[in-house]
Structure 1
């Protein structure tokens, strides 16, 4: 009788151990999958930000070329050229994504002032093949930046949802993962740049 009870107790113990082992493996497997999913999403955000930086850098590189192409013919716009040079330095020294976006917005604003000045005051210069090509490339850069900004924000949305949604938020919290900021246009982006031809 004792032997039957021991066998029955052993079976119950083994069953309990089996259930616990199954739960530990299932929870551990889920945890690893959730962490991997978060890491993949985080890598996707980083990759998309890299794509944004490539386009921001392309525009930043084209701006001095445009300045060089028009500077000799625009004698009264030294203030515009100085503002562009300052904005370019600010962009080059920006380190964080937030600082890069702010500096890029400022560089874009100053470049638009230059483009408007060329169109409004130097129509013969605006029709020059070199200047037209550079302005077209800068406009193309704006389109690429808009697309990569959308792609980046889509990636951030997907990642942030995982970081804040239960139960993956537990994994994110344990791994020190936080939500990422969106790439937003500057509050002044909707305002037309002012052309000041004073020195």
Structure 2
């Protein structure tokens, strides 16, 4: 009789432990999904600013046609990269290069550098970059916690059968950010 209670007690303890582990995995997965959604919102915000910035610069630097086409093509490729962090990071890095070139073109046009519209767009783009960086840090922290949990014993025994898998970090090099500094007032 005591043996039956012991087995029943062990089964209950195991079931509770399994429920706790499962709920912890769900919590960590939700944090990564939330983090990715934040990144996605900020990347879309930046993508919406880029055509406006391109049109503003185009009004002053009409001979830079290839640069503007490159910016728009890479913007569209970044938007099409989807939810794969590695592909999206690569596409966003590729987009940042011509955007930096476009902003550098403004240095050759004093009227453009003084334009209120250009300065406001540049400020918004810089703000978007800061928010992307914060969202990226949150997401990567959530990914680190989820991946650590998935790889830790005894959770690793249950993670895969319950459909939990490692996530990729979202990596954009700081040097690849579209607007490294505003340069306003310089």
TM-score, length basis structure 1: 0.84
Which range is displaced more, 146-155 or 167-176?
167-176
Say if 1:52 and 1:64 are closer, same or farther in 2 by CA, change over 3 A: same
Among 36, 45, 65, the alignment partner of 2:32 is: 45
- In 1, the alpha carbon distance for the partners of 2:16 and 2:118 equals 59
Q: CA deviation at 1:36?
A: 0.7
Could you list the per-position Cα deviations for residues 83-102 of structure 1 after superposition, in whole angstroms to 9, with x for gaps in the alignment?
A: 10110120222122322222
Among 87, 90, 104, the alignment partner of 1:99 is: 87
- In 2, the alpha carbon distance for the partners of 1:149 and 1:94 equals 16
- Report the equivalent of 1:165: 152
- Report the equivalent of 2:4: 17
- Establish whether residue 146 from structure 1 lines up as the match of residue 133 from structure 2: yes
- In 1, the alpha carbon distance for the partners of 2:170 and 2:9 equals 44
- Report the equivalent of 1:54: 41
Could you list the per-position Cα deviations for residues 23-60 of structure 1 after superposition, in whole angstroms to 9, with x for gaps in the alignment?
A: 00101110011011101100110010000011111111
Aligned residues: 178
- In 2, the alpha carbon distance for the partners of 1:188 and 1:149 equals 15
* Structure 1 unaligned blocks of 5 or more: 1-13, 194-199
- In 2, the alpha carbon distance for the partners of 1:131 and 1:189 equals 21
Please provide the CA RMSD for this pair.
Answer: 1.9
- In 1, the alpha carbon distance for the partners of 2:63 and 2:143 equals 44
Among 20, 31, 35, the alignment partner of 2:18 is: 31
- Report the equivalent of 2:110: 123
* Structure 2 unaligned blocks of 5 or more: 181-186
Which has the larger Rg?
A: 1
Q: Is the 8 A contact 1:152 1:183 kept in 2?
A: yes
Q: CA deviation at 1:188?
A: 6.8
TM-score, length basis structure 2: 0.90
Alignment of 1:169-180 (within 5 A): 169-180=156-167
Q: Is the 8 A contact 2:147 2:167 kept in 1?
A: yes
